[in-house]
Amino acid sequence: MGTHKIIGIMSGTSLDGIDLAYCTFQESNGKYSFKLGSCETIPYSGFWLDRLKALPQSPAVEYAETHVSYGRYVGQLVKGFMQTNQLTADFVSSHGHTIFHNPDMGYTAQIGDGAAMAMECGLPVVCDFRSSDVAAHGQGAPLVPIGDELLFPEYDYCLNLGGFANISTKKEGKRIAFDISPANIILNHIANKAGKDFDEGGKLAASGEIDTELLAKLNSLDFYQKQPPKSLGREWVEKQILPLLNCPTISLRDMACTFCQHIAVQIAACVESGPGKKMLVTGGGAFNTYLMKKIAENTSVELILPDAKTINYKEALVFAFLGLLRMKSLPNCLASVTGATYNVTGGAVYLPGLKPL
C-alpha cells in the first residue's frame, strides 16, 4: 500500500505540444486508483516545430544535439511547472517525442535525453519506454493498454484519438491493442493546408462531402488487412497516405470529410457491436464533433466521453503509471499487445546529480 506522486509527460505525433500531468496513484493489494491534479499543455514554438519536423531528415550530429537540448528543454518545463503549481513529486516519467519508429526493422527512437532532463528538473527521470519491447521483437506500441487494463477496467474498449487512432480491449482473457489508422496527424495536416492549426470541432470536415473514390483507396490499403499486433508511424503515413491526398481536384473540406469517414469505418471494423458495450474515448480527436458523429453512425457501441482533463491527459497519466511500474520492476509492456517474445519492463532510469556536501 502506498501513494506515489509522479509527473507524466507526453508529446504526440500530431505536434500539438508537450502535455504535463501531475498524477497521484494509490496502491492497495496490487490494485491502483489515480487522481489527475494540475495539468498543462505547452504549445511548441516555431523553432521547435521546425526542428522536430525536420529532424528525421537531419544529419546525425543534429539528431544527437537535439536529443540533449530537447531533454534540457523538457526538464526546464518540469521545473517551472512544479514551481508555478507548488508541487513535489517522486519522479518524472516521460514518453519523449518519437522521431523514428520502425519495429519491423528493429528500431524506435524517442528524443529527450533523460540525463539532461534529470539534471534540469532535479528529479529522477524514467524515459525510453519502447526500446526494450522492440528488442524483444515487439512492435513497441501501443504502450497505453497496461493503463487501460489496470486503471480503466470497467470499459469494453478504450479508444484514443491522437496522432493515430488506437484501441485497447480484452480478447479471450488477454489484453490486445493496436493502431487502427492515422487520425489527427492527417486531420491536422489538412487543416494546416487550409491555414488552421487544427479543424476545431470538425467544422471544415462537416462542410465537405465524402469523395467515394478517395475513401475506397484509403480503405483498401494493405495495413487494414493485417491482423494485430500492428502499429503505425510517420514513415508509413508519408509513404502510403500523403500520396493519396496529393490530389488537386479534391477540395480540402472534402478531403477532411472523407478522412473522418475513413477513420470511423476503420474503427467500426475493429469493434464488436452489441448491447451494453462501452467505449471510453480520449485524445484530442474526442473534441472533433464531426468525427465523433461519424464514429457513432458506424457502430452501436456506446461512446463514453470522460471529463476534459482525462480526455486531454490520459496518455500523460498512463506514462506516469508506466514509470511507476518500471520503478517497481513490474512488467509495463504486454506481449499480448505488442507481439513481443514476453512481457518486458520498459524504461531507462536517470538520477539527478548530487550536490557536493
Please state which of the four CATH numbers 1.25.60.10, 3.40.120.10, 3.30.420.40, 3.10.20.440 is assigned to the domain occupying 2-141+335-350. Answer: 3.30.420.40
Sequence-distant (≥ 6) Cβ neighbours of residue 46 within 8 angstroms: none
Q: Which of 10-19, 22-31, 313-322, 323-332 has the lowest mean pLDDT?
A: 10-19
The more confidently predicted of residues 16 and 200 is 200
Q: Are strands 107-111 and 164-171 parallel, antiparallel or unpaired?
A: unpaired
Q: What is the pLDDT of residue 355?
A: 63
Q: What is the pLDDT of residue 218?
A: 98
pTM: 0.87
Is residue 110 within 8 Å of residue 145, measured between CB atoms?
no
Question: Over the stretch 17-56, which tens digit does the pLDDT of each residue have?
Answer: 999 999 999 998 878 999 999 999 999 999 999 999 999 9
Cell numbers describing residue 124: 529522477
Q: What is the pLDDT of residue 2?
A: 87
**pLDDT band at residue 127 using 50, 70 and 90 as cut-offs:** very high
Distance CA 131, CA 188 (A): 28
Instruction: Tell me what the mean pLDDT of segment 94-117 comes to.
Output: 95
User: Is residue 8 over pLDDT 90?
Assistant: yes
CATH superfamily of 145-310: ATPase, nucleotide binding domain (3.30.420.40)
User: Is residue 111 over pLDDT 80?
Assistant: yes
Q: Which of 103-112, 141-150, 271-280, 308-317 has the lowest mean pLDDT?
A: 271-280
Instruction: Tell me what the mean pLDDT of segment 267-276 comes to.
Output: 88
Residue with cell 529532424: 55
Residue ranges matching CATH 3.30.420.40 in the chain? 2-141+335-350, 145-310
Is residue 144 within 8 Å of residue 176, measured between CB atoms?
no
User: Is residue 326 over pLDDT 90?
Assistant: yes
Q: What is the pLDDT of residue 233?
A: 85
Is residue 188 within 8 Å of residue 237, measured between CB atoms?
no
User: Is residue 222 over pLDDT 80?
Assistant: yes
Question: Over the stretch 63-96, which tens digit does the pLDDT of each residue have?
Answer: 999 999 999 999 999 999 999 999 999 999 999 9
Is residue 348 within 8 Å of residue 155, measured between CB atoms?
no
**pLDDT band at residue 353 using 50, 70 and 90 as cut-offs:** confident
Q: What is the pLDDT of residue 22?
A: 98
Integer-rounded Cα radius of gyration of the chain: 20
The more confidently predicted of residues 142 and 37 is 37
**Phi and psi torsions of 20, nearest 5°:** -120, 130
**pLDDT band at residue 15 using 50, 70 and 90 as cut-offs:** confident
Average pLDDT, the chain: 95
Query: 184-193 and 252-269 helices cross at what angle (nearest 10)?
Result: 170
Q: What is the pLDDT of residue 1?
A: 61
Q: What is the pLDDT of residue 317?
A: 98
The more confidently predicted of residues 329 and 13 is 329
Q: What is the pLDDT of residue 356?
A: 63
